[in-house]
Amino acid sequence: MSITYLDANASEPVRPAARAAMLAALESVGNPASVHAAGRAARRMLETAREQVAGCFGAAAAGVVFTSGGTEANALAIHGLGAGRRVIVGATEHDAVRASSTFGTTLAGTTFAGTTLAGAAAILPVDRDGVADLDALARLLAEGPALVCLMLANNETGVVHPVAAAAALCRAHGALLHVDAVQAAGRMAVDLGALGADSLAISGHKLGGLQGAGALLLAGEPSLTPLIAGGGQERGRRGGTPALPALAGMAAAAGAAVAALGEQGWLTALRDGIEAAAVAAGAVVMGAGAARLGNTSCLALPGVRADTQVIALDLAGFQVSAGAACSSGRVAASHVLAAMGMGELAGAAVRVSLPWNAKAEDAERFAAAYVQMAGRLLRRAA
Partner 1 sequence: MTLPNRPIYLDNQATTACDPRVVAVMLPFFTEHFGNPHSAEHGMGRFAEAAVETARGHVAALIGADSREVVFTSGATESNNIAIKGLARQALRSGDARRRIVTVATEHKCVLESVVDLAEEGFEPVVLPVRSDGSVDPEAVRDALAVPTLLLSVMAVNNEIGVIQDLAGLAALAHAAGALFHTDAAQAAGKIALDVEAMKIDLLSISGHKLYGPKGVGALYVRRRPRVRLASLFSGGGQERGLRSGTLAAPLIVGLGEACRIAAGEMAEDERRIAGLRDRLMEGLRRAIPGVALNADPARRIPGNLNLTFPAANAQALMAAMPELCVSTGSACSSAEVEPSYVLRALGLSDAAAARTLRIGIGRFTSPADIDAAAAMLERAHAIAASHTPSEA
* The one catalytic residue among 149, 170, 298, 326: 326
According to CB under 8 A, which one of 55, 119, 125, 240 is a site residue for partner 1?
Answer: 240
CA pair distance 84, 119, nearest whole angstrom: 9
According to CB under 8 A, which one of 124, 210, 336, 377 is a site residue for partner 1?
Answer: 210
Q: How near is the Cβ of 291 to partner 1 at its closest, in Å?
A: 25
Give yes or no for residue 62 binding partner 1 (CB under 8 A): no
Give yes or no for residue 183 binding partner 1 (CB under 8 A): no
Q: Find the angle CA(76)-CA(77)-CA(82) to the nearest 5 degrees.
A: 110
According to CB under 8 A, which one of 50, 54, 59, 70 is a site residue for partner 1?
Answer: 70
| Identity of the residue, 57 or 112, whose beta carbon is nearer to partner 1 in the bound complex | 112
Q: How near is the Cβ of 193 to partner 1 at its closest, in Å?
A: 27
| Residues 39 and 30 sit within 8 Å (Cβ to Cβ) | yes
* # of chain residues touching partner 1 (CB under 8 A): 82
Give yes or no for residue 3 binding partner 1 (CB under 8 A): yes
Give yes or no for residue 162 binding partner 1 (CB under 8 A): no
Stretch that binds partner 1, among 106-114, 281-289, 332-340, 358-366 (CB under 8 A): 106-114
Q: How near is the Cβ of 118 to partner 1 at its closest, in Å?
A: 18
Give the residue from 364, 380, 362 showing the smallest Cα distance to 8.
362
According to CB under 8 A, which one of 243, 270, 312, 373 is a site residue for partner 1?
Answer: 243
Give yes or no for residue 241 binding partner 1 (CB under 8 A): yes
Paired with 66 in beta bridges are 215
Give yes or no for residue 228 binding partner 1 (CB under 8 A): yes
Give yes or no for residue 74 binding partner 1 (CB under 8 A): yes
Please, which of residues 110-129 interact with partner 1 by CB under 8 A?
A: 111, 113-114
Plot region of 135 (φ>0 → left; ψ -120 to 50 → alpha; else → beta): alpha
Phi, psi of 87, rounded to the nearest 5 degrees = -100, 130
| Residues 162 and 132 sit within 8 Å (Cβ to Cβ) | yes
| Identity of the residue, 25 or 340, whose beta carbon is nearer to partner 1 in the bound complex | 25
How does DSSP assign 90-154, residue by residue? ETT--HHHHHHHHHHHHSTT-EETTEE-SSSPEEE-B-TTS-B-HHHHHHHHTTSSEEEE--SB-
According to CB under 8 A, which one of 45, 150, 244, 345 is a site residue for partner 1?
Answer: 244
Paired with 200 in beta bridges are 179, 217
| Residues 54 and 60 sit within 8 Å (Cβ to Cβ) | yes
Q: Residues 289-328: x/- map of binding to partner 1 (CB under 8 A)?
A: ------------------x--xx--x----xxxx-xxxxx
| Identity of the residue, 229 or 261, whose beta carbon is nearer to partner 1 in the bound complex | 229
| Residues 207 and 250 sit within 8 Å (Cβ to Cβ) | yes
Query: In sequence order, which residues have a C-beta less than 8 Å from that of residue 263 and are 6 or more positions away?
Result: none
326 among known catalytic residues: yes
Task: Using CB atoms within 10 Å of the CB of residue 296, give its burial: 0 to 12 exposed, 13 to 18 middle, 19+ buried.
Answer: buried
CA pair distance 224, 35, nearest whole angstrom: 26
Q: Residues 5-44: x/- map of binding to partner 1 (CB under 8 A)?
A: x-x--xxxxx---xx--xx--xx-xxx-xxxxxxx-----
Q: How near is the Cβ of 250 to partner 1 at its closest, in Å?
A: 11
- List the catalytic residues: 326
